[in-house]
Amino acid sequence: MDPCPFIRILVGSLALKSPVSPKPAFSAVHPSSSPCFCKIKLKNFPSQITSIPSSQPTCFNLSKTQFDKLVHKSNGLLKIEIYTGQSGKSCGFSSGKLLGSVAVRLDGKSVESSRSAVVQNGWVLVNEGAKGRRGAMQLHLNVRVEPDPRFVFRSSLLEPSTSFKWLNSLKTGNKDQPVKERKGWSITIHDLSGSPVAAASMVTPFVPSPGTDRVSRSNPGAWLILRPGDNTWKPWGRLEAWRERGSRGGNHLGYRFDLLPDAAVVGGGDAAVTVVSSTLSAKTGGKFVIDIGAGASPASSRSSSFDLESGDESGSGSASWAELLYWGFVMSSTVEGGGRHAEVEVGVQHVACTEDAAAFVAVAAAMDLSVEACRPFSQNLRKGLKGLRRQQSQEFVV
What pTM value is reported for the model?
A: 0.69
Q: Is the pLDDT of residue 241 over 90?
A: yes
- Residue 251 phi/psi, 5° resolution? -105, 20
Q: Is the pLDDT of residue 146 over 60?
A: yes
Decide which of 21 and 152 is more confident.
Answer: 152
Q: How many CA atoms lie within 13 A of 136 on its CB side?
A: 18
Q: Is the pLDDT of residue 270 over 80?
A: no
C-alpha triplet 373, 363, 236: angle, nearest 5°: 120
Omega before residue 3 within 30° of 0, cis: no
What pLDDT sits at residue 389? 41
Q: Is the pLDDT of residue 20 over 70?
A: no
What pLDDT sits at residue 163? 28
Q: Is the pLDDT of residue 31 over 50?
A: no
CA distances from 293 to 98, 159, 164, 284, 289 (A): 29, 35, 32, 27, 12
Q: Are 288 and 332 in contact (CB under 8 A)?
A: yes
Mean of all residue pLDDT scores within the chain: 74
Q: Is the pLDDT of residue 257 over 70?
A: yes
What pLDDT sits at residue 207? 93
What pLDDT sits at residue 293? 63
The model's pLDDT over 102-120, given as tens digits with 9 standing for 90+, comes to 999 887 666 665 678 898 9
Q: Is the pLDDT of residue 378 over 60?
A: yes
Q: Is the pLDDT of residue 344 over 70?
A: yes
Alpha-carbon dihedral angle through residues 186, 191, 195, 196, given to the nearest 10 degrees: -20
The model's pLDDT over 159-175, given as tens digits with 9 standing for 90+, comes to 333 323 333 333 434 44
Using CB atoms within 10 A of its CB, is residue 163 exposed (0-12), middle (13-18) or buried (19+)? exposed
Q: Are strands 186-190 and 396-397 parallel, antiparallel or unpaired?
A: parallel
CA distances from 61 to 74, 326, 345, 375 (A): 17, 18, 11, 31
Using CB atoms within 10 A of its CB, is residue 155 exposed (0-12), middle (13-18) or buried (19+)? buried
What pLDDT sits at residue 339? 47
Question: Whose CA is closest to 294, among 8, 2, 7?
Answer: 8
Comparing 252-261, 293-302, 351-360, which segment has the lowest mean pLDDT? 293-302
What pLDDT sits at residue 302? 41
Is residue 53 very low, low, confident or very high in pLDDT (cuts 50, 70, 90)? confident
Q: Is the pLDDT of residue 57 over 80?
A: yes
Query: Cα–Cα distance between 260 and 47 in angstroms, integer?
Result: 34
Of 1-5, 164-168, 200-204, 284-288, the range with the highest mean pLDDT is: 200-204
The amino acid at residue 364 is: A
The model's pLDDT over 178-210, given as tens digits with 9 standing for 90+, comes to 558 888 899 899 888 888 999 999 999 999 988
- Residue 195 phi/psi, 5° resolution? -80, 135
Number of Cβ within a 10 Å radius of residue 159 = 13
Q: Is the pLDDT of residue 218 over 80?
A: yes
State mean pLDDT over 378-395. 55
What pLDDT sits at residue 110? 60
Number of Cβ within a 10 Å radius of residue 286 = 23
Is residue 291 very low, low, confident or very high in pLDDT (cuts 50, 70, 90)? confident
The model's pLDDT over 219-240, given as tens digits with 9 standing for 90+, comes to 999 999 999 988 889 999 999 9
Question: Whose CA is closest to 60, among 152, 124, 141, 148?
Answer: 148
